[in-house]
Amino acid sequence: MVDVMEPQPLATVEGPPTLLIPRPRPRRREESAKEPVEPVISVQGLTIRYGSFAAVRDVSLDIPPRQVSAIIGPSGCGKSTLLRAMNRMNEFVPAASASGKLIYRGRDVYGAGFDPVDLRRQIGMVFQKPNPFPKSIFKNVAWGPIINGYRGNIEELVERTLIQAALWDEVKDKLQESAYALSGGQQQRLCIARAIALNPDVLLMDEPCSALDPIATSRIEDLIDELKTKYTVVLVTHNMQQAARVSDRTAFMYLGELIEVDDTQVIFTKPGNRKTQDYITGRFG
Amino acid sequence: MTQTTGAFEPRLARRKRVGRLFMAGFAVMSFVGIGFLAVLIVRILWEGLPWISAKFIVNFPSVLSPADAGVRSALFGTVWLIVITGLVSVPMGVAAAIYLEEYASNNRITRLIQLSIANLAGVPSVVYGILGLAVFVRWLSCGRSVLAGGLTVALLVLPVIIIASREALGAVPNSFRHAAYALGATRWQTIRSHVLPAAVPGILTGVILALSRAIGEAAPLLMLGALTYVTFVPEGPLDEFTVLPLQIYQWVDQPQAEFHHLAAAGIIVLLGVLLPMNGVAIAVRAWHQRRKAW
Protein backbone atom coordinates (compact mmCIF):
# COMPACT_ATOMS: atom_id res chain seq x y z
CA MET A 1 0.00 0.00 0.00
CA VAL A 2 2.78 2.43 -0.79
CA ASP A 3 1.50 2.99 -4.32
CA VAL A 4 0.02 6.41 -3.57
CA MET A 5 2.89 8.82 -3.22
CA GLU A 6 0.95 11.63 -1.70
CA PRO A 7 2.84 14.83 -1.03
CA GLN A 8 2.99 15.06 2.71
CA PRO A 9 1.42 18.38 3.50
CA LEU A 10 3.45 18.93 6.64
CA ALA A 11 6.75 17.53 5.47
CA THR A 12 8.17 21.02 5.84
CA VAL A 13 7.99 20.72 9.61
CA GLU A 14 11.28 19.17 10.58
CA GLY A 15 12.97 18.03 13.78
CA PRO A 16 13.27 20.01 16.98
CA PRO A 17 16.10 22.45 16.13
CA THR A 18 14.12 24.23 13.42
CA LEU A 19 11.17 24.46 15.75
CA LEU A 20 13.01 27.05 17.74
CA ILE A 21 13.02 29.54 14.92
CA PRO A 22 9.61 30.79 13.87
CA ARG A 23 10.12 31.28 10.19
CA PRO A 24 7.84 33.52 8.19
CA ARG A 25 5.94 31.21 5.87
CA PRO A 26 2.85 31.41 3.75
CA ARG A 27 -0.04 29.92 5.66
CA ARG A 28 -1.38 27.44 3.21
CA ARG A 29 -4.17 26.30 5.44
CA GLU A 30 -5.45 29.81 6.00
CA GLU A 31 -8.70 29.19 4.14
CA SER A 32 -9.51 26.02 6.06
CA ALA A 33 -9.17 27.96 9.28
CA LYS A 34 -11.64 30.55 8.11
CA GLU A 35 -14.27 28.24 6.65
CA PRO A 36 -16.46 26.89 9.39
CA VAL A 37 -16.43 23.11 8.99
CA GLU A 38 -19.02 21.10 10.87
CA PRO A 39 -16.97 19.25 13.49
CA VAL A 40 -17.45 15.50 13.94
CA ILE A 41 -16.90 15.75 17.66
CA SER A 42 -17.37 18.87 19.66
CA VAL A 43 -16.13 18.81 23.23
CA GLN A 44 -17.84 21.51 25.25
CA GLY A 45 -16.70 22.31 28.77
CA LEU A 46 -15.86 18.69 29.53
CA THR A 47 -14.48 17.77 32.94
CA ILE A 48 -13.46 14.19 33.75
CA ARG A 49 -12.82 13.22 37.35
CA TYR A 50 -11.30 10.13 38.89
CA GLY A 51 -12.79 10.32 42.34
CA SER A 52 -12.11 13.90 43.38
CA PHE A 53 -9.16 14.37 41.03
CA ALA A 54 -10.01 16.24 37.84
CA ALA A 55 -7.89 14.66 35.11
CA VAL A 56 -9.49 16.83 32.41
CA ARG A 57 -10.71 20.32 33.34
CA ASP A 58 -13.27 22.25 31.40
CA VAL A 59 -11.92 21.34 27.97
CA SER A 60 -13.57 22.61 24.80
CA LEU A 61 -12.30 21.33 21.49
CA ASP A 62 -13.62 20.63 17.99
CA ILE A 63 -12.50 17.64 15.95
CA PRO A 64 -12.79 18.40 12.22
CA PRO A 65 -13.69 15.61 9.79
CA ARG A 66 -11.15 13.65 7.76
CA GLN A 67 -8.13 15.12 9.38
CA VAL A 68 -5.66 13.90 11.92
CA SER A 69 -6.04 15.79 15.17
CA ALA A 70 -3.16 15.23 17.57
CA ILE A 71 -3.34 15.74 21.31
CA ILE A 72 0.06 16.30 22.87
CA GLY A 73 1.31 17.15 26.33
CA PRO A 74 3.48 15.82 29.13
CA SER A 75 2.66 12.60 31.00
CA GLY A 76 -0.39 12.92 33.21
CA CYS A 77 -1.74 15.96 31.38
CA GLY A 78 -5.05 14.20 30.70
CA LYS A 79 -4.62 13.62 26.97
CA SER A 80 -5.43 9.91 27.13
CA THR A 81 -8.36 10.60 29.44
CA LEU A 82 -9.75 13.13 26.98
CA LEU A 83 -9.36 10.61 24.14
CA ARG A 84 -11.08 7.85 26.10
CA ALA A 85 -13.89 10.24 26.94
CA MET A 86 -14.73 10.40 23.23
CA ASN A 87 -15.99 6.80 23.09
CA ARG A 88 -16.85 6.60 26.78
CA MET A 89 -14.15 4.05 27.53
CA ASN A 90 -13.43 5.98 30.71
CA GLU A 91 -16.36 4.40 32.42
CA PHE A 92 -14.38 1.21 32.88
CA VAL A 93 -12.11 3.12 35.24
CA PRO A 94 -13.58 2.85 38.73
CA ALA A 95 -14.88 6.12 40.16
CA ALA A 96 -14.58 8.01 36.86
CA SER A 97 -17.23 10.65 36.27
CA ALA A 98 -17.84 13.23 33.58
CA SER A 99 -19.56 16.58 33.43
CA GLY A 100 -20.00 18.91 30.47
CA LYS A 101 -20.89 18.01 26.94
CA LEU A 102 -19.35 15.93 24.19
CA ILE A 103 -21.39 16.31 21.02
CA TYR A 104 -20.90 13.61 18.41
CA ARG A 105 -22.83 14.20 15.18
CA GLY A 106 -25.34 16.37 16.98
CA ARG A 107 -25.95 14.15 20.00
CA ASP A 108 -24.56 14.56 23.49
CA VAL A 109 -22.57 11.44 24.28
CA TYR A 110 -22.87 12.20 27.98
CA GLY A 111 -26.57 13.06 27.75
CA ALA A 112 -29.23 11.04 29.50
CA GLY A 113 -30.19 7.80 27.79
CA PHE A 114 -27.21 7.73 25.41
CA ASP A 115 -26.04 4.15 24.81
CA PRO A 116 -22.24 3.91 24.51
CA VAL A 117 -22.29 0.42 22.96
CA ASP A 118 -23.38 1.60 19.52
CA LEU A 119 -21.20 4.70 19.83
CA ARG A 120 -18.11 2.49 20.04
CA ARG A 121 -18.96 0.83 16.75
CA GLN A 122 -18.81 4.27 15.14
CA ILE A 123 -15.86 5.57 17.14
CA GLY A 124 -13.17 2.92 17.02
CA MET A 125 -10.11 2.79 19.19
CA VAL A 126 -6.50 1.63 18.97
CA PHE A 127 -4.70 1.16 22.26
CA GLN A 128 -1.21 1.99 23.43
CA LYS A 129 -0.08 -1.61 23.70
CA PRO A 130 -1.07 -3.94 20.86
CA ASN A 131 -3.88 -6.05 22.32
CA PRO A 132 -5.08 -8.55 19.72
CA PHE A 133 -7.46 -11.21 20.95
CA PRO A 134 -5.79 -14.58 21.63
CA LYS A 135 -7.43 -15.94 18.50
CA SER A 136 -6.59 -16.27 14.83
CA ILE A 137 -5.70 -13.27 12.69
CA PHE A 138 -8.93 -13.79 10.75
CA LYS A 139 -11.10 -13.87 13.86
CA ASN A 140 -9.45 -10.76 15.23
CA VAL A 141 -10.69 -8.78 12.25
CA ALA A 142 -13.98 -10.65 11.75
CA TRP A 143 -15.24 -10.60 15.34
CA GLY A 144 -16.27 -6.93 15.52
CA PRO A 145 -18.34 -7.02 12.31
CA ILE A 146 -19.91 -10.37 13.29
CA ILE A 147 -21.12 -9.25 16.71
CA ASN A 148 -22.46 -6.06 15.18
CA GLY A 149 -24.54 -8.01 12.68
CA TYR A 150 -22.50 -7.48 9.50
CA ARG A 151 -24.58 -8.69 6.58
CA GLY A 152 -21.99 -8.78 3.79
CA ASN A 153 -19.38 -11.38 2.95
CA ILE A 154 -17.09 -11.62 5.94
CA GLU A 155 -14.11 -13.11 4.03
CA GLU A 156 -14.15 -10.23 1.58
CA LEU A 157 -14.41 -7.73 4.41
CA VAL A 158 -11.43 -9.23 6.23
CA GLU A 159 -9.34 -9.17 3.06
CA ARG A 160 -10.35 -5.62 2.18
CA THR A 161 -9.66 -4.45 5.73
CA LEU A 162 -6.26 -6.10 5.95
CA ILE A 163 -5.29 -4.57 2.60
CA GLN A 164 -6.36 -1.19 3.91
CA ALA A 165 -4.30 -1.72 7.05
CA ALA A 166 -1.25 -2.58 4.90
CA LEU A 167 -1.03 -6.00 6.48
CA TRP A 168 -2.56 -8.29 3.86
CA ASP A 169 0.64 -9.28 2.06
CA GLU A 170 2.28 -10.29 5.32
CA VAL A 171 -0.60 -12.38 6.69
CA LYS A 172 -2.62 -13.64 3.72
CA ASP A 173 -1.11 -17.12 3.97
CA LYS A 174 -1.60 -17.48 7.71
CA LEU A 175 -5.00 -16.04 8.48
CA GLN A 176 -5.82 -18.99 10.73
CA GLU A 177 -2.67 -18.62 12.82
CA SER A 178 -2.65 -16.95 16.21
CA ALA A 179 -2.40 -13.19 16.18
CA TYR A 180 0.35 -13.54 18.75
CA ALA A 181 2.62 -15.13 16.14
CA LEU A 182 2.94 -11.62 14.62
CA SER A 183 5.54 -9.01 15.53
CA GLY A 184 4.58 -6.07 17.73
CA GLY A 185 4.23 -3.71 14.76
CA GLN A 186 2.14 -6.23 12.83
CA GLN A 187 -0.03 -6.79 15.90
CA GLN A 188 -0.67 -3.07 16.13
CA ARG A 189 -1.61 -2.89 12.44
CA LEU A 190 -3.91 -5.85 13.09
CA CYS A 191 -5.50 -3.86 15.90
CA ILE A 192 -5.98 -0.96 13.49
CA ALA A 193 -7.50 -3.40 10.97
CA ARG A 194 -9.78 -4.72 13.69
CA ALA A 195 -10.97 -1.18 14.39
CA ILE A 196 -11.50 -0.13 10.77
CA ALA A 197 -13.28 -3.39 9.89
CA LEU A 198 -16.38 -1.77 11.39
CA ASN A 199 -15.97 1.15 8.98
CA PRO A 200 -16.03 3.60 11.86
CA ASP A 201 -16.62 7.30 11.52
CA VAL A 202 -13.81 8.24 13.88
CA LEU A 203 -10.65 6.39 14.87
CA LEU A 204 -9.16 7.16 18.27
CA MET A 205 -5.49 6.24 18.68
CA ASP A 206 -3.93 6.25 22.12
CA GLU A 207 -0.15 6.49 21.65
CA PRO A 208 -0.32 3.68 19.10
CA CYS A 209 3.42 3.63 18.47
CA SER A 210 4.83 3.97 21.95
CA ALA A 211 5.49 0.22 22.25
CA LEU A 212 7.01 -0.06 18.75
CA ASP A 213 10.42 0.32 17.17
CA PRO A 214 11.14 3.18 14.72
CA ILE A 215 10.51 1.13 11.58
CA ALA A 216 7.17 -0.20 12.80
CA THR A 217 6.35 3.34 13.94
CA SER A 218 6.96 4.79 10.51
CA ARG A 219 4.74 2.16 8.91
CA ILE A 220 1.92 3.04 11.29
CA GLU A 221 2.45 6.72 10.55
CA ASP A 222 2.19 6.06 6.82
CA LEU A 223 -0.98 4.13 7.52
CA ILE A 224 -2.47 6.97 9.58
CA ASP A 225 -1.73 9.29 6.69
CA GLU A 226 -3.83 7.11 4.39
CA LEU A 227 -6.55 6.45 6.92
CA LYS A 228 -7.38 10.13 7.20
CA THR A 229 -8.68 10.14 3.63
CA LYS A 230 -11.53 7.97 4.91
CA TYR A 231 -11.73 8.48 8.63
CA THR A 232 -11.47 11.21 11.18
CA VAL A 233 -8.44 10.39 13.29
CA VAL A 234 -7.68 11.60 16.81
CA LEU A 235 -4.16 10.74 17.84
CA VAL A 236 -2.72 11.02 21.33
CA THR A 237 1.04 11.04 21.33
CA HIS A 238 3.87 12.00 23.61
CA ASN A 239 6.10 12.17 20.58
CA MET A 240 6.06 15.74 19.30
CA GLN A 241 7.80 14.87 16.06
CA GLN A 242 5.08 12.35 15.39
CA ALA A 243 2.39 14.96 15.94
CA ALA A 244 4.28 17.28 13.61
CA ARG A 245 4.69 14.58 10.96
CA VAL A 246 1.18 13.16 10.77
CA SER A 247 -1.35 15.60 12.18
CA ASP A 248 -3.25 18.48 10.65
CA ARG A 249 -4.43 19.97 13.93
CA THR A 250 -2.63 19.83 17.26
CA ALA A 251 -4.01 20.39 20.72
CA PHE A 252 -1.63 20.96 23.61
CA MET A 253 -2.75 19.94 27.08
CA TYR A 254 -1.11 20.67 30.38
CA LEU A 255 -2.26 19.65 33.88
CA GLY A 256 -5.69 18.65 32.65
CA GLU A 257 -6.32 21.87 30.76
CA LEU A 258 -6.36 22.51 27.06
CA ILE A 259 -3.74 25.21 26.61
CA GLU A 260 -3.90 25.72 22.89
CA VAL A 261 -5.28 24.18 19.74
CA ASP A 262 -4.47 25.23 16.20
CA ASP A 263 -3.19 23.98 12.88
CA THR A 264 -0.18 21.78 13.55
CA GLN A 265 2.05 24.08 11.56
CA VAL A 266 1.07 27.05 13.70
CA ILE A 267 1.51 25.16 16.98
CA PHE A 268 4.99 24.08 16.00
CA THR A 269 6.18 27.33 14.51
CA LYS A 270 4.47 30.20 16.30
CA PRO A 271 2.46 28.88 19.20
CA GLY A 272 0.26 31.46 20.85
CA ASN A 273 0.97 30.34 24.37
CA ARG A 274 4.20 30.49 26.32
CA LYS A 275 3.65 27.01 27.81
CA THR A 276 3.14 25.47 24.39
CA GLN A 277 6.35 27.04 23.20
CA ASP A 278 8.23 25.78 26.26
CA TYR A 279 6.89 22.27 25.72
CA ILE A 280 7.54 21.95 22.02
CA THR A 281 11.02 23.35 22.41
CA GLY A 282 11.75 20.78 25.05
CA ARG A 283 12.08 23.10 28.03
CA PHE A 284 9.87 20.79 30.11
CA GLY A 285 7.98 17.61 29.70
CA MET B 1 38.08 -11.38 42.28
CA THR B 2 36.10 -10.84 45.45
CA GLN B 3 37.01 -7.52 46.89
CA THR B 4 36.57 -7.65 50.64
CA THR B 5 37.91 -4.22 51.41
CA GLY B 6 35.99 -0.97 51.16
CA ALA B 7 32.27 -0.35 51.62
CA PHE B 8 31.08 -3.88 50.88
CA GLU B 9 31.57 -7.12 52.71
CA PRO B 10 29.95 -9.59 50.32
CA ARG B 11 30.39 -12.81 52.39
CA LEU B 12 29.34 -14.62 49.26
CA ALA B 13 30.19 -18.11 50.53
CA ARG B 14 27.97 -17.66 53.58
CA ARG B 15 25.03 -16.28 51.56
CA LYS B 16 25.26 -19.17 49.15
CA ARG B 17 25.41 -21.66 52.03
CA VAL B 18 22.21 -20.19 53.50
CA GLY B 19 20.59 -20.41 50.08
CA ARG B 20 21.51 -24.07 49.69
CA LEU B 21 20.22 -24.82 53.16
CA PHE B 22 16.79 -23.40 52.35
CA MET B 23 16.68 -25.19 49.01
CA ALA B 24 17.47 -28.49 50.73
CA GLY B 25 14.74 -27.86 53.31
CA PHE B 26 12.13 -27.18 50.64
CA ALA B 27 13.17 -30.26 48.67
CA VAL B 28 12.90 -32.51 51.73
CA MET B 29 9.40 -31.21 52.47
CA SER B 30 8.19 -31.91 48.95
CA PHE B 31 9.67 -35.41 49.01
CA VAL B 32 8.01 -36.17 52.34
CA GLY B 33 4.62 -35.59 50.70
CA ILE B 34 5.44 -37.63 47.63
CA GLY B 35 6.95 -40.37 49.84
CA PHE B 36 3.84 -40.79 51.93
CA LEU B 37 1.68 -40.89 48.81
CA ALA B 38 3.93 -43.58 47.32
CA VAL B 39 3.76 -45.70 50.49
CA LEU B 40 0.00 -45.36 50.56
CA ILE B 41 -0.48 -46.35 46.94
CA VAL B 42 1.92 -49.29 47.15
CA ARG B 43 0.19 -50.60 50.27
CA ILE B 44 -3.28 -50.25 48.74
CA LEU B 45 -2.21 -51.98 45.52
CA TRP B 46 -0.47 -54.73 47.50
CA GLU B 47 -3.58 -55.45 49.54
CA GLY B 48 -6.30 -54.82 47.01
CA LEU B 49 -4.98 -55.70 43.58
CA PRO B 50 -5.40 -59.50 43.97
CA TRP B 51 -9.08 -58.88 44.70
CA ILE B 52 -9.72 -56.78 41.61
CA SER B 53 -11.52 -58.81 38.98
CA ALA B 54 -14.47 -58.48 36.64
CA LYS B 55 -16.57 -60.13 39.32
CA PHE B 56 -15.56 -57.47 41.82
CA ILE B 57 -16.81 -54.75 39.51
CA VAL B 58 -20.12 -56.32 38.47
CA ASN B 59 -21.18 -58.09 41.69
CA PHE B 60 -23.20 -56.56 44.47
CA PRO B 61 -21.69 -56.47 47.95
CA SER B 62 -22.14 -59.50 50.15
CA VAL B 63 -21.84 -59.76 53.91
CA LEU B 64 -21.52 -63.52 53.79
CA SER B 65 -18.88 -64.34 51.26
CA PRO B 66 -16.09 -61.85 50.63
CA ALA B 67 -15.01 -63.79 47.57
CA ASP B 68 -18.28 -62.97 45.78
CA ALA B 69 -18.57 -59.40 47.00
CA GLY B 70 -18.40 -56.53 44.50
CA VAL B 71 -18.79 -52.79 44.16
CA ARG B 72 -21.54 -52.65 41.54
CA SER B 73 -24.00 -50.64 43.63
CA ALA B 74 -21.32 -48.34 45.01
CA LEU B 75 -19.76 -47.71 41.60
CA PHE B 76 -23.12 -46.87 40.03
CA GLY B 77 -23.99 -44.72 43.04
CA THR B 78 -20.73 -42.81 42.75
CA VAL B 79 -21.23 -42.20 39.03
CA TRP B 80 -24.79 -41.00 39.65
CA LEU B 81 -23.65 -38.77 42.48
CA ILE B 82 -20.76 -37.22 40.59
CA VAL B 83 -22.89 -36.54 37.50
CA ILE B 84 -25.58 -34.82 39.58
CA THR B 85 -22.98 -32.90 41.57
CA GLY B 86 -21.19 -31.79 38.41
CA LEU B 87 -24.35 -30.82 36.56
CA VAL B 88 -25.47 -28.66 39.48
CA SER B 89 -22.26 -27.22 40.89
CA VAL B 90 -20.29 -26.38 37.74
CA PRO B 91 -22.90 -24.20 35.98
CA MET B 92 -23.94 -22.61 39.27
CA GLY B 93 -20.39 -21.98 40.40
CA VAL B 94 -19.20 -20.56 37.10
CA ALA B 95 -22.31 -18.40 36.79
CA ALA B 96 -21.85 -17.03 40.30
CA ALA B 97 -18.18 -16.35 39.59
CA ILE B 98 -19.04 -14.51 36.37
CA TYR B 99 -21.55 -12.37 38.21
CA LEU B 100 -19.21 -11.53 41.08
CA GLU B 101 -16.19 -10.89 38.91
CA GLU B 102 -17.64 -9.29 35.78
CA TYR B 103 -20.92 -7.66 36.75
CA ALA B 104 -21.17 -6.89 40.47
CA SER B 105 -19.89 -3.49 41.49
CA ASN B 106 -17.34 -3.54 44.25
CA ASN B 107 -19.57 -2.52 47.15
CA ARG B 108 -20.18 -3.68 50.69
CA ILE B 109 -22.71 -6.36 49.70
CA THR B 110 -20.41 -7.89 47.08
CA ARG B 111 -17.56 -8.00 49.56
CA LEU B 112 -19.84 -9.63 52.13
CA ILE B 113 -20.84 -12.29 49.61
CA GLN B 114 -17.20 -12.92 48.71
CA LEU B 115 -16.24 -13.25 52.36
CA SER B 116 -19.12 -15.67 52.98
CA ILE B 117 -18.09 -17.84 50.06
CA ALA B 118 -14.52 -17.99 51.32
CA ASN B 119 -15.82 -19.01 54.74
CA LEU B 120 -18.17 -21.60 53.27
CA ALA B 121 -15.21 -23.29 51.59
CA GLY B 122 -13.88 -24.02 55.08
CA VAL B 123 -17.08 -25.38 56.63
CA PRO B 124 -16.74 -29.09 57.61
CA SER B 125 -18.58 -31.42 55.27
CA VAL B 126 -20.66 -32.94 58.09
CA VAL B 127 -22.32 -29.57 58.50
CA TYR B 128 -23.36 -29.72 54.83
CA GLY B 129 -24.75 -33.16 55.63
CA ILE B 130 -27.00 -31.68 58.31
CA LEU B 131 -28.09 -28.95 55.90
CA GLY B 132 -28.81 -31.52 53.19
CA LEU B 133 -30.80 -33.63 55.61
CA ALA B 134 -32.94 -30.68 56.64
CA VAL B 135 -33.39 -29.09 53.21
CA PHE B 136 -33.26 -31.81 50.57
CA VAL B 137 -34.21 -35.00 52.43
CA ARG B 138 -36.92 -33.58 54.68
CA TRP B 139 -38.13 -30.21 53.43
CA LEU B 140 -38.00 -30.89 49.67
CA SER B 141 -38.92 -34.54 50.35
CA CYS B 142 -36.22 -35.99 48.15
CA GLY B 143 -35.81 -38.81 50.66
CA ARG B 144 -32.48 -40.53 51.11
CA SER B 145 -32.04 -40.39 47.35
CA VAL B 146 -28.98 -39.96 45.16
CA LEU B 147 -30.53 -36.62 44.13
CA ALA B 148 -30.46 -35.37 47.73
CA GLY B 149 -26.88 -36.63 48.02
CA GLY B 150 -25.79 -35.03 44.76
CA LEU B 151 -27.36 -31.68 45.67
CA THR B 152 -25.75 -31.74 49.11
CA VAL B 153 -22.31 -32.49 47.73
CA ALA B 154 -22.88 -29.86 45.03
CA LEU B 155 -23.40 -27.24 47.75
CA LEU B 156 -20.30 -28.53 49.48
CA VAL B 157 -18.03 -28.04 46.47
CA LEU B 158 -19.72 -24.89 45.14
CA PRO B 159 -17.43 -22.47 47.02
CA VAL B 160 -14.34 -24.19 45.63
CA ILE B 161 -15.63 -23.78 42.08
CA ILE B 162 -16.69 -20.17 42.63
CA ILE B 163 -13.36 -19.16 44.14
CA ALA B 164 -11.26 -20.89 41.48
CA SER B 165 -13.42 -19.52 38.66
CA ARG B 166 -13.30 -16.00 40.04
CA GLU B 167 -9.54 -16.13 40.19
CA ALA B 168 -9.39 -17.46 36.65
CA LEU B 169 -11.67 -14.68 35.36
CA GLY B 170 -9.74 -12.06 37.28
CA ALA B 171 -6.49 -13.21 35.69
CA VAL B 172 -7.78 -12.43 32.17
CA PRO B 173 -6.06 -9.18 31.13
CA ASN B 174 -8.33 -6.14 31.00
CA SER B 175 -6.87 -5.25 27.62
CA PHE B 176 -9.03 -8.00 26.05
CA ARG B 177 -12.17 -6.60 27.66
CA HIS B 178 -11.33 -3.07 26.55
CA ALA B 179 -10.55 -4.22 23.01
CA ALA B 180 -13.94 -5.92 22.81
CA TYR B 181 -15.87 -3.01 24.30
CA ALA B 182 -14.11 -0.63 21.91
CA LEU B 183 -15.56 -2.67 19.02
CA GLY B 184 -19.09 -2.05 20.24
CA ALA B 185 -19.48 -5.36 22.05
CA THR B 186 -21.90 -5.72 24.91
CA ARG B 187 -20.70 -6.98 28.24
CA TRP B 188 -22.07 -10.46 27.62
CA GLN B 189 -20.55 -10.67 24.11
CA THR B 190 -17.21 -9.72 25.63
CA ILE B 191 -17.47 -12.33 28.37
CA ARG B 192 -18.77 -15.04 26.08
CA SER B 193 -16.19 -14.65 23.32
CA HIS B 194 -13.05 -13.53 25.12
CA VAL B 195 -13.11 -13.58 28.90
CA LEU B 196 -14.63 -17.01 29.43
CA PRO B 197 -12.50 -18.89 26.86
CA ALA B 198 -9.36 -17.32 28.32
CA ALA B 199 -10.43 -18.38 31.81
CA VAL B 200 -11.27 -22.01 30.93
CA PRO B 201 -7.97 -23.53 32.13
CA GLY B 202 -8.29 -21.96 35.56
CA ILE B 203 -11.96 -22.84 35.84
CA LEU B 204 -11.20 -26.45 34.95
CA THR B 205 -8.55 -26.60 37.66
CA GLY B 206 -11.23 -25.62 40.15
CA VAL B 207 -13.65 -28.16 38.73
CA ILE B 208 -11.06 -30.94 39.02
CA LEU B 209 -10.38 -30.03 42.64
CA ALA B 210 -14.08 -29.82 43.44
CA LEU B 211 -15.14 -33.08 41.82
CA SER B 212 -12.16 -34.94 43.26
CA ARG B 213 -13.29 -33.81 46.65
CA ALA B 214 -16.90 -34.73 45.89
CA ILE B 215 -16.04 -38.25 44.83
CA GLY B 216 -14.30 -38.99 48.11
CA GLU B 217 -16.92 -37.57 50.46
CA ALA B 218 -18.55 -39.98 52.93
CA ALA B 219 -19.44 -37.90 55.95
CA PRO B 220 -22.26 -35.71 54.56
CA LEU B 221 -23.83 -38.72 52.85
CA LEU B 222 -23.83 -40.69 56.10
CA MET B 223 -25.53 -37.69 57.65
CA LEU B 224 -28.20 -37.80 54.95
CA GLY B 225 -28.84 -41.41 55.80
CA ALA B 226 -27.35 -42.93 52.68
CA LEU B 227 -27.11 -46.68 53.15
CA THR B 228 -23.81 -48.47 53.40
CA TYR B 229 -25.10 -51.85 52.34
CA VAL B 230 -27.06 -51.66 49.10
CA THR B 231 -27.80 -54.53 46.76
CA PHE B 232 -29.38 -52.61 43.92
CA VAL B 233 -28.26 -49.82 41.59
CA PRO B 234 -30.14 -46.52 41.42
CA GLU B 235 -32.47 -46.52 38.42
CA GLY B 236 -33.31 -42.83 38.73
CA PRO B 237 -32.32 -39.78 40.75
CA LEU B 238 -34.87 -40.49 43.45
CA ASP B 239 -33.58 -43.97 44.27
CA GLU B 240 -31.58 -44.79 47.35
CA PHE B 241 -27.90 -45.31 46.85
CA THR B 242 -24.49 -45.88 48.26
CA VAL B 243 -21.12 -44.61 47.05
CA LEU B 244 -17.63 -46.09 46.97
CA PRO B 245 -16.34 -44.30 50.10
CA LEU B 246 -19.33 -45.59 52.08
CA GLN B 247 -18.85 -49.11 50.77
CA ILE B 248 -15.18 -48.95 51.67
CA TYR B 249 -16.12 -47.67 55.11
CA GLN B 250 -18.56 -50.54 55.58
CA TRP B 251 -15.95 -53.13 54.64
CA VAL B 252 -13.30 -51.65 56.89
CA ASP B 253 -15.85 -51.92 59.70
CA GLN B 254 -16.10 -55.71 59.30
CA PRO B 255 -13.94 -57.88 61.60
CA GLN B 256 -12.69 -60.33 58.91
CA ALA B 257 -9.39 -59.57 57.18
CA GLU B 258 -10.84 -60.45 53.74
CA PHE B 259 -13.16 -57.48 53.96
CA HIS B 260 -10.19 -55.20 54.63
CA HIS B 261 -8.67 -56.40 51.39
CA LEU B 262 -11.98 -55.69 49.69
CA ALA B 263 -11.77 -52.17 51.08
CA ALA B 264 -8.34 -51.75 49.49
CA ALA B 265 -9.74 -53.04 46.21
CA GLY B 266 -12.59 -50.55 46.53
CA ILE B 267 -10.08 -47.72 46.95
CA ILE B 268 -8.37 -48.84 43.74
CA VAL B 269 -11.72 -48.64 41.93
CA LEU B 270 -12.30 -45.20 43.41
CA LEU B 271 -8.93 -44.03 42.12
CA GLY B 272 -9.76 -45.71 38.82
CA VAL B 273 -12.86 -43.51 38.49
CA LEU B 274 -11.03 -40.39 39.62
CA LEU B 275 -8.02 -40.64 37.32
CA PRO B 276 -9.78 -40.70 33.92
CA MET B 277 -12.09 -37.92 35.09
CA ASN B 278 -9.14 -35.75 36.02
CA GLY B 279 -7.32 -36.88 32.91
CA VAL B 280 -10.04 -35.49 30.67
CA ALA B 281 -10.11 -32.19 32.55
CA ILE B 282 -6.33 -31.89 32.43
CA ALA B 283 -6.32 -32.64 28.69
CA VAL B 284 -8.93 -29.95 28.04
CA ARG B 285 -6.99 -27.53 30.19
CA ALA B 286 -3.76 -28.26 28.37
CA TRP B 287 -5.46 -27.78 25.02
CA HIS B 288 -6.77 -24.39 26.09
CA GLN B 289 -3.47 -23.37 27.59
CA ARG B 290 -1.67 -24.02 24.35
CA ARG B 291 -3.88 -21.41 22.74
CA LYS B 292 -3.24 -18.95 25.53
CA ALA B 293 -0.81 -16.47 24.16
CA TRP B 294 -0.54 -13.40 26.32
pLDDT tens per residue, range B95-111 = 999 999 999 988 899 99
Say yes or no to pLDDT of A11 above 80. Answer: no
- Is the Cβ pair A121, B183 closer than 8 Å? yes
Percentage of chain B modeled with pLDDT above 90: 46
In whole angstroms, give the CA distance from residue B98 to residue B116.
Answer: 17
Chain B contact for A128, CB < 8 A? no
Query: pLDDT at position A34, please?
Result: 52
Chain A positions touching B174 (Cβ under 8 A) are 92
Do residues A40 and A201 lie in contact, with contact meaning Cβ atoms separated by under 8 Å?
yes
B182–A125: do the CB atoms touch at under 8 Å? Answer: yes
Q: Is the pLDDT of residue A125 over 90?
A: yes
CA distance A248 to A219: 18
Q: With an 8 Å Cβ cutoff, are A178 and B293 in contact? A: yes
DSSP label at A8? P
Report pLDDT for B258. 84
Say yes or no to pLDDT of B53 above 60.
yes
| Cβ contact A25:A269 at 8 Å | yes
CB contact under 8 Å between A131 and B185, yes or no, is no
- Report the Cα–Cα distance between both ends of chain B, in Å, rounded: 42
pLDDT band for B3, please (50, 70, 90 cuts).
low
Query: What pLDDT score was predicted for residue B55?
Result: 80
In the predicted model, is pLDDT for residue A43 greater than 90? yes
Instruction: Measure the CA–CA gap between A175 and A157, rounded to whole angstroms.
Output: 13
ipTM here: 0.84
Chain A contact set for B184 (CB, 8 A) = 117-122, 144, 147-148, 198
Q: Which of A133-147, B27-41, B46-60, B164-178 has the lowest mean pLDDT?
A: B46-60
Q: Which residues does chain A have within 8 Å of residue B175's beta carbon, measured at their own beta carbons?
A: 127, 129, 131
Residue A30 has pLDDT above 50, yes or no: no
Does B182 contact chain A (CB < 8 Å)? yes
A66–chain B nearest CA distance, Å: 20
What is the pLDDT at residue B2?
Answer: 54
Q: In angstroms, rounded to a whole number, what is the distance separating the alpha carbons of residues A157 and B202?
A: 35
Which pLDDT belongs to residue B239?
80
pLDDT at A267 over 90: yes
**Residue of B105, B107, B183, B189 to mutate for A, most A C-beta atoms under 10 A:** B183
Q: Tell me what the mean pLDDT of segment A135-159 comes to.
A: 95
Question: Angle CA(B101)–CA(B121)–CA(B123) in degrees, nearest 5?
Answer: 150
Asked if the model's pLDDT at residue A28 lies above 80, the reply is no
Kindly report the average pLDDT of chain A as a whole number. 87
Specify the range with the lowest mean pLDDT, choosing from A105-119, A125-139, B227-241. Answer: B227-241
Minimal CA separation from B159 to chain A, in Å: 27
Give yes or no for a contact between B129 and B170, defined as CB atoms under 8 angstroms apart: no
Percent of chain A predicted with pLDDT > 70: 87
| Residue-level pLDDT at B293 | 54
Partner-chain contact B182 A118, CB within 8 Å: no
pLDDT tens profile B199-230: 998 899 889 889 988 998 888 888 887 777 77
Local structure of A58: helix, strand or coil = strand
Give residue A264's Cα distance to chain centre. 14
Predicted TM-score (pTM) of this structure: 0.82
- Which residues of chain B from 189 to 218 reach within 8 Å of chain A, CB to CB? 189, 193-194, 198
Per-residue confidence (pLDDT) for residue A221, from 0 to 100: 94
Please check whether residue A129 touches B, CB under 8 A.
yes
